[in-house]
Amino acid sequence: MTLSSPNPVTHRMAEFALDTTWESLPEAVRREALRAWVNWVACATGGAATQTMETAVQGVLSMGAGGDVPLLGRRERTSLADAALLGSLSSSAHTYDDTHLATITHPTGPVASAALATAHRLAACGKPVPGARLLNALAIGVELECRLSCAIAAAGADLGWYMTGLSGGVGAAAAVGSLLQLTHDRLVSAIGLAAAQACGLRATHGSMAIAYVPGVAARNGLVAAYMAAADFTCGAIAIDGRNGLLQVLASDAADPALIRAGLGSRFELLNNAYKPYPCGIVIHPAIDAALDLVQENKFAHTEIERIDMRVHPDALNLTWRKLPDNVLDAQVSLFHWVAAAFVQGAAGVEQGALDCVHDAAVRSLQERSHAVADAGLAGNQAAVTVRLRDGRTLDRFTQNATGSVGNPMTDQQLASKFRALARLPLGERRADELLVLCLNLPANASAAEILAHGAL
């Protein structure tokens, strides 16, 4: 990496954000942006009544931070910045949010939440944001966020960094800056201000803060864009210059060319994936294998003597927790979800609830489960072997986990996920109406209608 580059990468990022229009995006990118939007609204609405969200809203309102911006699935109204934070936080509360698997970034939450809050504010000022323009801003923000994550990850930055917190604010700033129609120089400042606030540790996993980190990224990115709109400046070297984000995270190993290369013609957004199960995505291949074994062989969980798993190293690095004693620990427990899949034959929101976490049969099976890391496996692969009490041994290998780029969720599966989550606070009729509104967003004259219909 060249320090104090004569052409900082923030200039190219700003050019991309300002030059990109909904019409100029390839059809495949437009389709994926809409799918990301549908998935995010489902997750944000479905997470609205979780204890994580209840506590976060209470904390925000206790500071006297009032406002007029609605929240999906809730009755409260908050300030613009707090709405960005809480919308993203809610979408992460079930650990059901999308994932750019190559970098383990959850890209849509910070960008979509900040953009939707901004769309509400602009509509209130008599400047409604058409749905297509919101989706264009979403595509811009997610693309830049994922590319920054690629540069960080390729440089070997420590896995202890929470990637969404490092890159999510930059994506949110670019999206909001696009909606605010910032000048080039102001958008460069917005991106730089967001990069200066990058933060997040994976030590937050297993606590409410696993959702707080993406929320902070959303809020920081929105604030950065609004500060830049007021001509608050930041140097252009905040990402790839001396003491910029990349150098601080990865010394001189980081290469900003990974952000520039093919920008506008090749899209990392197409490598984003949507979760069929509400837990860490690195657990999903093992869940697939467990569910397949149960369905194909029709044995009862009481017949299992021992479970052995071979998983990608990230699965043990990130979801190593055994015998979790609360919902938040269970969200990132490989052992809980595989055991629950065998005992209950499913892996949905109910299997992440406290009743299942404390279920004696699930915990007993966790005690008889063993996992080893296999560096030869891809991130969407896992092998599960079950030894039954009658001496039989059953094996299943997941080649391409459901929801991975190689085996993506279908539109029908995404719609089912949407209904299952959105009906939790809204009921079935309003959930169906909100889904239709989301699917028709490209033709909608005001994206703020999503908040108007999805709030209580």
Per-residue pLDDT tens over the stretch 83-139: 999 999 999 999 999 999 899 999 999 999 999 999 999 999 999 999 999 999 999
Q: How many domains does the chain have?
A: 2
- Mean pLDDT (the chain, rounded): 95
Q: What is the pLDDT of residue 4?
A: 46
Provide the Cα torsion 119, 123, 126, 127; round to 10°.
30
For residues 43 and 36, give the distance between their C-alpha atoms in angstroms, rounded to a whole number: 11
For residues 174 and 195, give the distance between their C-alpha atoms in angstroms, rounded to a whole number: 11
Do residue 240 and residue 321 come from a single domain?
no
Position 2 pLDDT exceeds 50: no
Do residue 195 and residue 299 come from a single domain?
no
User: Given the structure tokens 């029908």, which residue do they identify?
Assistant: 412
Q: Is residue 3 part of a domain?
A: no
> Residue range 296-320: average pLDDT?
95
404 forms bridges with which residues in the sheet?
Answer: 407
pTM over 0.85: yes
Q: Is residue 403 part of a domain?
A: no
SS3 311: strand
Position 5 pLDDT exceeds 70: no
Say if CB 438 and CB 135 are below 8 A apart: no
Listed in sequence order, the residues at least 6 apart from 254 whose beta carbon sits closer than 8 Å to its beta carbon are: 1, 151, 152, 154, 155, 157, 240, 246, 247
CB atoms < 10 A from the CB of 90, how many?
Answer: 31
Q: Is residue 265 part of a domain?
A: yes
Position 1 pLDDT exceeds 60: no
* Backbone φ, ψ for residue 371 (5° rounding): -135, 145
Position 394 pLDDT exceeds 50: yes
> Residue range 415-428: average pLDDT?
97
* Backbone φ, ψ for residue 320 (5° rounding): -80, -10
Query: 14-54, pLDDT tens digit by residue?
Result: 999 999 999 999 999 999 999 999 999 999 999 999 999 99
* Nearest CA among 76, 82, 73, 84 for reference residue 110: 84
> Residue range 209-232: average pLDDT?
98
What is residue 278's DSSP assignment? S
Q: Is residue 270 part of a domain?
A: yes
Do residue 126 and residue 80 come from a single domain?
yes
User: Given the structure tokens 């007029």, which residue do they identify?
Assistant: 68
Q: Record the tokens describing residue 253, joined without a space.
A: 């190993």
For residues 447 and 456, give the distance between their C-alpha atoms in angstroms, rounded to a whole number: 17
Do residue 226 and residue 89 come from a single domain?
yes
Query: 125-165, pLDDT tens digit by residue?
Result: 999 999 999 999 999 999 999 999 999 999 887 778 999 99
Do residue 356 and residue 436 come from a single domain?
no
SS3 70: strand
Q: What is the pLDDT of residue 3?
A: 43
> Residue range 369-395: average pLDDT?
96
For residues 225 and 27, give the distance between their C-alpha atoms in angstroms, rounded to a whole number: 28
pLDDT level of residue 350 (50, 70, 90 thresholds): very high
- By the 10 Å C-beta count (0-12 exposed, 13-18 middle, 19+ buried), 58 is classed as exposed
Do residue 266 and residue 300 come from a single domain?
no
Q: What is the pLDDT of residue 439?
A: 98
| Domain harbouring 135, CATH code | 1.10.4100.10
Q: For residue 422, is it left (φ>0), alpha (ψ between -120 and 50) or beta?
A: alpha
Query: 242-277, pLDDT tens digit by residue?
Result: 999 999 998 777 789 999 999 999 999 999 999 999
Position 396 pLDDT exceeds 60: yes
Do residue 345 and residue 261 come from a single domain?
no
Long-range own/partner contacts, residues 298-302 (CB < 8 A, 24 or more apart): 299/386, 299/388, 299/394, 301/342, 301/343, 301/361, 301/365, 302/361
- Among residues 398, 424, 441, the one where a domain terminates is 398
pLDDT > 70 in the chain, percent: 98
Q: Is residue 264 part of a domain?
A: yes
End-to-end Cα spacing for the chain: 49
Q: What is the pLDDT of residue 99?
A: 94
Q: What is the pLDDT of residue 157?
A: 79
For residues 162 and 349, give the distance between their C-alpha atoms in angstroms, rounded to a whole number: 24
Position 65 pLDDT exceeds 50: yes
Do residue 181 and residue 261 come from a single domain?
yes
Q: Report DSSP letters for 122-159, one per residue.
A: HHHTT----HHHHHHHHHHHHHHHHHHHHHHHHTT--T
Position 76 pLDDT exceeds 70: yes
Residues of the domain holding 102 = 9-274+416-454
